[in-house]
């Protein structure tokens, strides 16, 4: 990347269209804005179903140092297209203009994991000089391509405020178009004399990031343009989800054919597996763990998978490749499955999204035979025509067969059925399937020192996160860092005296930490009293809603949760319990919290249950969520009072 920083620049006047807006009034923005977009233009010319030309222009005013990122122009391209021109300019606040031409651009691997292995998609990059605060930078580029899909997306809103943004569409005579507006009021098209359609938006607010908000593409304004040749959508176009499913089915046709090598591997995998469910699990484990993940983008948006035989032979592939191979192997044992296109961030696609927008991942919906029943098969959905379907992500090596991770739950995906596509909402698993079950037994002495043992069992994503963190750890000292983090979040000082990790590799078994520790001055003295916090470990309260600014976007939880704690603190000799904190019972539609402190024998027992039930909290309930966390924060600080008994 160092070469990008040294692109030669020369004196050269910026074009008139750039100078025309360089000194224009800035759009409304706040002091946190790194830059503003003074002018943007996207002009698409549809030559035929086989060829389009796109011209893009943009002019930015840099306001803060982080705004320099706009000085790097990065344009992706693939085997179906080429970047025909690139040009960049800088208008400094003082001095002469600078320019860089397309001959100074460089080609790099596309920004995907293991991208150095990929030649299907590349980026052409041009570094514009003097992208410094106070300066204006602009660029223009042109792309010519053979479209695999007859649509275009005008993404005119982002985190950068916009003064004015233009979109123009030219289509051949006899063609039709359809414009779909997402997350923004519709602006009517204006037709020019030559039949060109034009749209303009002005004073578009920048989207300010909020913690746990939906992804940007799920809330930003955009226009999706579909264009059809005479006769309506062709094999490369669609107007709805049903047609998109048919399009994808055609794109993947024949790619699940099993090679002799696949059949031989399947015979080995299932030879000792008598039950159909056991065979399905064996296939899932093989694709999850024996096929290495490498991100590969082919065709439109990375939608077209490699043939199953190629993925098996090379032993690597991306999400759609792994799904294709697994579907091939399942079919060989008589089990049908269907692609599900989805976004790996919940909220990017919703029930009102237009067809074709937002997908970046592929999973499977597996038809469960009538005789296959097991309580571990939680990610199920009853389809009116296809029957009982189990959703499964072959790319995820840490989630066992029968479950899906939290970001897929309650998420919307395109189910690609034999008769076309259908947008469906994936199931939400029981909160107890994603949990931390923590039990502690402690002894308190009269000086206020605490010591004891903790058993901590984790399920679902709670287990997967720990396994992921430990996957490359080789030193014993590093294996207990997660335990140290838990203790550090609740105690000012501590010493771990013993610790072990259970089932770090066995993804179908609960993950566990077992540890012992001691901490000084846990209880605070006041005359002949000891003040003891019953909640020894674990923090559930959150403060991200404690802001003077009102919430703008929904809150997205990572997944359903049901965490439990039980702590027994043996009271020191010579003391009795004088006062206990009140019980807490808070129950909203989206979450609940229940805690209780009581005396059991000579010990204080603290129990609590924290549960997330709904994964999206609308803005209208943000104040309720804030109250919910405040109740928890108070409970976590509460103390019991012990007094000397003599």
pTM of the predicted protein model: 0.89
Q: Are residues 409 and 265 in the same domain?
A: yes
In DSSP notation, 10-29 reads EE-PPPHHHHHHHTSPPPS-
β-partners of residue 293 are: 317
Q: Are residues 337 and 468 in the same domain?
A: no
Q: Are residues 563 and 577 in the same domain?
A: yes
H-helix or E-strand containing 277? helix 276-290
CA 614 vs CA 378, 504, 561, 611: distances in Å:
17, 29, 10, 9
Q: What is the CB-side half-sphere exposure of residue 459 using CA atoms within 13 A? A: 16
Supply the pLDDT for residue 149.
Answer: 81
In DSSP notation, 592-635 reads EEEEEEEEETTEEEEEEEEEE--SEE-GGGHHHHHHHHHHHHHH
Supply the pLDDT for residue 629.
Answer: 98
Cβ atoms within 10 Å of 579's Cβ, excluding its own: 11
Classified as helix, coil or strand, 482 is helix
Residue 509 covered by a domain: yes
Q: Are residues 199 and 310 in the same domain?
A: no
Q: What is the CB-side half-sphere exposure of residue 41 using CA atoms within 13 A? A: 15
Q: Are residues 220 and 176 in the same domain?
A: yes
Residue 521 near residue 531, CB atoms below 8 Å: no
Supply the pLDDT for residue 358.
Answer: 80
Look at the chain and report how many structural domains it folds into: 3
Sign (positive or negative) of CA dihedral 511, 515, 519, 523? positive
H-helix or E-strand containing 464? helix 461-470
Supply the pLDDT for residue 570.
Answer: 98
Q: Give the residue from 228, 263, 297 where a domain finishes.
A: 228
- In whole angstroms, give the CA distance from residue 285 to residue 398: 10
Q: Are residues 255 and 395 in the same domain?
A: yes
Q: Are residues 502 and 624 in the same domain?
A: yes
- In whole angstroms, give the CA distance from residue 391 to residue 369: 14
Q: Are residues 538 and 618 in the same domain?
A: yes
Supply the pLDDT for residue 116.
Answer: 40
Q: Which of 126, 143, 124, 145 is nearest to 76 (CA)?
A: 124
CA 519 vs CA 452, 464, 493, 498, 567: distances in Å:
9, 29, 6, 14, 15
Structural domain of residue 288, as residue ranges? 242-429
CA 223 vs CA 9, 10, 56, 167, 234: distances in Å:
35, 37, 16, 9, 21
Rounded to 5 degrees, φ, ψ at 634 are -65, -45
Give the CATH number of the domain where residue 391 resides. Answer: 3.10.620.30
Q: Are residues 319 and 418 in the same domain?
A: yes
Residue 529 covered by a domain: yes
| Separation of first and last alpha carbons in the chain | 74
Q: Give the residue from 404, 429, 454 where a domain finishes.
A: 429
- In whole angstroms, give the CA distance from residue 445 to residue 573: 8
Supply the pLDDT for residue 13.
Answer: 87
Supply the pLDDT for residue 122.
Answer: 80
Supply the pLDDT for residue 118.
Answer: 43
Q: Which of 153, 158, 128 is nearest to 140 (CA)?
A: 128
Q: Which portions of the chain are predicted below pLDDT 70? A: 1-11, 110-121, 234-236, 296-302, 357
């Amino acid at each position: 990347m160092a070469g990008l920083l040294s692109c030669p620049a020369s004196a050269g006047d910026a074009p008139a269209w750039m100078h025309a807006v360089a000194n224009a009034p800035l759009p409304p923005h706040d002091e946190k804005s790194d830059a503003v977009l003074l002018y943007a233009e996207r002009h698409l010319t549809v030559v035929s179903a086989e060829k389009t030309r796109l011209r893009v222009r943009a002019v930015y005013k840099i306001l803060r140092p982080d705004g320099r990122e706009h000085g790097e122009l990065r344009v992706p391209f693939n085997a179906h297209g080429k970047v025909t021109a690139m040009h960049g300019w800088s208008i400094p606040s003082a001095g002469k203009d600078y320019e860089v031409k397309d001959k100074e651009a460089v080609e790099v691997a596309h920004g995907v994991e293991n991208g150095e292995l990929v030649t299907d998609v590349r980026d052409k990059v041009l570094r514009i000089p003097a992208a410094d605060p106070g300066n204006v930078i602009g660029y223009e580029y042109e792309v010519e391509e053979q479209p695999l899909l007859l649509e275009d997306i005008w993404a005119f809103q982002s985190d950068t405020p916009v003064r004015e943004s233009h979109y123009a569409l030219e289509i051949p005579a006899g063609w039709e178009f359809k414009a779909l507006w997402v997350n923004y009021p519709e602006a009517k098209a204006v037709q020019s004399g030559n039949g060109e359609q034009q749209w303009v938006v002005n004073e578009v607010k920048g989207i300010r990031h909020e913690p746990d908000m939906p992804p940007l593409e799920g809330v930003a304004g955009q226009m999706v343009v579909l264009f059809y040749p005479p006769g309506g959508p062709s094999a490369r176009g669609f107007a709805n989800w049903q047609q998109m499913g048919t399009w994808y089915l055609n794109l993947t046709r024949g790619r699940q054919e099993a090679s002799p090598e696949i059949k031989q591997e399947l015979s080995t995998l299932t030879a000792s597996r008598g039950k159909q469910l056991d065979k399905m699990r064996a296939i899932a484990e093989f694709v999850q763990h024996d096929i290495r993940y490498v991100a590969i983008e082919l065709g439109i948006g990375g939608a077209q998978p490699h043939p199953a035989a190629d993925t098996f032979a090379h032993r690597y592939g991306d999400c759609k490749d792994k799904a294709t191979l697994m579907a091939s192997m399942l079919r060989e044992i008589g089990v049908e499955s269907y692609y599900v296109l989805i976004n790996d961030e919940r909220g990017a696609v919703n029930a009102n999204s237009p067809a074709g927008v937002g997908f970046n991942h592929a999973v499977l919906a597996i038809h469960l035979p009538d005789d296959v029943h097991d309580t571990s098969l939680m990610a199920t959905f009853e389809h009116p025509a296809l029957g009982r379907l189990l959703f499964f992500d072959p790319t995820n090596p840490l989630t066992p067969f029968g479950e899906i991770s939290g970001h897929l739950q309650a998420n919307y995906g395109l189910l690609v059925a034999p008769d076309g596509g259908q947008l469906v909402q994936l199931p939400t698993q029981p909160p107890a399937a994603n949990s931390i079950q923590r039990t502690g037994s402690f002894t308190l002495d009269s000086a206020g020192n605490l010591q004891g043992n903790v058993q901590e069992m984790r399920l679902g994503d709670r287990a997967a996160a720990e396994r992921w963190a430990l996957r490359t750890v080789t030193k014993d000292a590093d294996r207990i860092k997660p335990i140290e983090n838990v203790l550090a979040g609740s105690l000012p000082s501590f010493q771990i005296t013993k610790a072990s990790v259970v089932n770090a590799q066995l993804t179908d078994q609960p993950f566990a930490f077992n540890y012992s520790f001691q901490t000084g001055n846990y209880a605070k003295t006041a005359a002949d009293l000891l003040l003891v916090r019953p909640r020894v470990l674990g923090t559930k309260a959150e403060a991200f809603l404690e802001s003077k600014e009102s919430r703008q976007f929904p809150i997205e939880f990572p997944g359903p949760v049901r965490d439990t704690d039980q702590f027994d603190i043996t009271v020191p000799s010579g003391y009795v319990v004088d006062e206990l904190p009140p019980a807490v019972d808070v129950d909203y539609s989206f979450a609940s919290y229940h805690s209780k402190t009581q005396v059991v024998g000579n010990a204080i027992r603290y129990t609590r249950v924290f549960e997330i039930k709904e994964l999206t909290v609308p803005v209208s309930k943000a104040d309720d969520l804030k109250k919910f966390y405040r109740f928890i924060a108070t409970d976590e600080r509460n103390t019991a009072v012990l007094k000397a008994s003599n």
